[in-house]
A and B are shown apart, each in its own frame.
Chain A
Amino acid sequence: MSLRILPRRLLPLTARRATSLIPSRPLRPSFVVGTPRRFFSDDLSSPTPLPIFHLSETEQMLQETVARFANDMILPKVREMDEKETMDESIIEGLFENGFMGVEVPDEYGGAGMGFGAAIVAIEELAKVDPSVSVLCDVHNTLVNTAFLKWGSSDLKKTFLPQLATESVGSFCLSEPASGSDAFAMLTTAVPSDPASSADPSHYTINGSKCWITNAGHSKIFLVFAQTNPSLPANQRHKGITCFVVPRDTPGFAISKKEKKLGIRASSTCVITFDDVRVPRENILGNVGEGYKIAMGLLNEGRVGIGAQMIGLAQGAWEAGAKYVWQERKQFGRYIGEFQGLAFQVAEARTEIEAARALVYNAMRTKEALDRLKEAGEDVTSGTGGAGAPAGGKQGEFVMQAAMAKLYASNVAQKVSGAAIEWMGGMGFVRDGLAEKFWRDSKIGAIYEGTSNIQLQTIAKLLQKAHAQ
């Protein structure tokens, strides 16, 4: 039999010649398509998998309560709060009264003792009505409360968690005029009381300023990140950053400028100045030099919260638009939503929302699974989920999912809310309704808690590391 008739791959190796212009195709593809990343399901004995949007009974009840509260108490005031650029105090009180400000705080400290999923659902529901209220609740729950829960000493927990769960709003102070994405270039210093002699100073003195601080106008408790070792070289600076708990009434602490913003105007955003602010060493969250780790850890989770805010916003805008085109506005003898062109736009927008929601919900469930594994003593930073997965084991998987969720959700929120205005025509443009507000509110999604470029950087780095030769 002539060797030429056989397919190339069956030819004995010696018979193959490297003369073909077409590169030889390997016998198997160099990547395995569709390998499920069975990270989590192998380790956690899972019953029949459910749709990603499935909520536990507790989460459903919470969703019901938050939705009712949002529609009854917040909706009537949304426009007024936006015009006045001020959050209504009664809404903040209502958030505390109903337990929305201590979702994950354990019962013994006065919280609701629910899981991360519950917090995310609450943030999403609030954002469907007012993203400003949603962000107040989000920063408070996912950044401030979580910081105490994860890194607070038992004394700090006992002192501050009950307050945070029942009456005091919290703020997260990381950014400065000169350092946003480049967080470790922060200039705010925390000088220890006896720098030369004692390795265990009694207090620290904070000087500097922070900006873009959410909730600042209302907060009583501030988490402040400061550099305790300014003499560190540039590439080591992160090792000196420490997280301090600073109560509002500490002498030298001042809220200076309140920002006037494009969107989430009812959310208080201020500049804070520190003028020889003395903080006892007991108020350090975690340990000296751990601030970097704490901030990054919190922001990884906070990202999912922002993703939830953005998908809530997108849904709120979409609902307003869908209602208008299918129930309210008739032109040329029929509802404008009956024209295929418009209906297709509405369908497209909804598809994007569902995709963004899927990313956010997956990130949220990934975090819950991760926490369960950590509690069981598992090593979550090593191992790999197979080709296509990011570096860093299960933790890396979560970080990537969270970054993707926030990136995509903020993108979708902007697109959908912008489209909704157009569906509503003039009615979408005027400040009588809420459509234009959703679009302005959406802009911040791509900016705070890690800009979209930073998210892309995070995702790229994790993937690149996993694919390094």
Chain B
Amino acid sequence: MAATPLRILVPIKRVIDYAVKPRVNSARTAVELSGVKMSMNPFDELSVEASLRLRETLPPSSVPDILLVSLGPAKSAETLRTALAMGADRALLIEEDAELEPLTVAKALKEVVSRESCNLVILGKQSIDDDAGQTGQMLAGLLGWGQATQACKISVQGEEVTVEKEVDGGTETVKAKLPVVVTTDLRLNEPRYASLPNIMKAKKKPFEKMKLSDFGLSAIKRLQTLSVSEPPPRQGGSKVEDVDGLVKRLRELGAI
């Protein structure tokens, strides 16, 4: 099978760093973001790494373009630069300060795909701030493409993409013809560090900036967040002596 060159789109998102403990803001309307350390969504790191590995393992010139795209405030440029330093080719920042919902993002990504003639989109299965887990699937729907979500293994042969997906109880392997949307899951790979020479090289890579309105879109919110609260603090448990004690305790708690 003649190999189709892959033009990969890798959307990434700037989120609260996974190691930071999030706190609710004083108005209890959102998570506190000011002054908090932000990083690339860990699932998106897996996407970037996956695209780089495809380039490294397939025959030369199989992956002529790895384009990063991020929708968010101007500071998302830092996240894009980190991903460029991992080894991606180009970056596109679609600036938008307002909060974005997955459908808006998916619509914007659809425009980017047609603009850049991408035939493979690799996204994180979810972002760790909203845990929506929708963008990849919505994008596939809008594009009319096949989708393989929660990938723990991706391989490409010619026109076909084979993906092993994580499902409850194990894994499921699917095969699809390009173009395809794939979303990444934890076991897919171990993302590389941005090596120092690559950090320097990243400075010279093409970096484009656009606005959401350039795509004829605006940050419509179809959902309204009513309140945000922290989970209740963990209560200590109690020990029971034996089965009778357990039954007694369950009765006391009204569980039986």
A residues whose Cβ falls under 8 Å from a Cβ of B: 57-58, 61-62, 64-65, 68-69, 97-100, 102-103, 107, 110-114, 118, 122
Contact = CB atoms under 8 A, between A and B. Distances in A.
Interface of B: 78, 81-82, 85, 193-200, 203
B200 A114 contact: yes
Given A61-B82, A61-B85, A112 B196 contact: yes
Given A61-B81, A61-B82, A97 B195 contact: yes
B82 A99 contact: no
Nearest to B82: A61
Q: Which of B82, B200, B203 is most buried by chain A, counting CB atoms within 10 A of its CB?
A: B200
Contacts of A122: 196
A205 to B, nearest CB: 39
B199 A112 contact: yes
Given A58-B203, A64-B82, A103 B193 contact: no
17 contacts: A58-B200, A58-B203, A61-B81, A62-B196, A64-B194, A65-B193, A68-B193, A69-B193, A98-B195, A99-B195, A99-B198, A102-B196, A102-B197, A111-B197, A112-B195, A112-B196, A112-B199
B200 A98 contact: no
A65 B195 CA distance: 7
Nearest to A103: B196
Q: Is the interface of A mostly helix, strand, loop or mixed?
A: helix
6 closest pairs, A vs B, by CB?
A99-B196, A112-B196, A99-B195, A98-B195, A99-B197, A112-B197
B203 to A, nearest CB: 7
Contacts, number: 50
Given A61-B81, A61-B85, A64-B82, A100 B200 contact: no
Contacts of A97: 195
A98 B195 CA distance: 4
B4 to A, nearest CB: 32
Contact of A100 (B78, B85, B196, B203): B196
A113 B194 contact: no
Contacts of B199: 58, 61-62, 65, 112, 114
Q: Quick one: which of A68, A69, A99, A122 has the most chain B CB within 10 A?
A: A99
A65 B40 CA distance: 13
Nearest to B84: A61
A112 B200 contact: yes
Contacts of B195: 65, 97-99, 112
Nearest to A112: B196
A194 to B, nearest CB: 44
B196 A98 contact: yes
B196 A107 contact: no
A107 B85 CA distance: 15
B170 to A, nearest CB: 28
A115 to B, nearest CB: 11
Contacts of B85: 61, 65
Contacts of A107: 197, 200
A69 B191 CA distance: 11
B197 A65 contact: no
Contacts of B194: 61, 64-65
Contacts of B198: 99
A191 B196 CA distance: 41
Nearest to A58: B199
A330 to B, nearest CB: 14
A204 B151 CA distance: 62
A110 B198 CA distance: 11
A122 to B, nearest CB: 8
B196 to A, nearest CB: 3
Contact of A98 (B78, B193, B203): B193
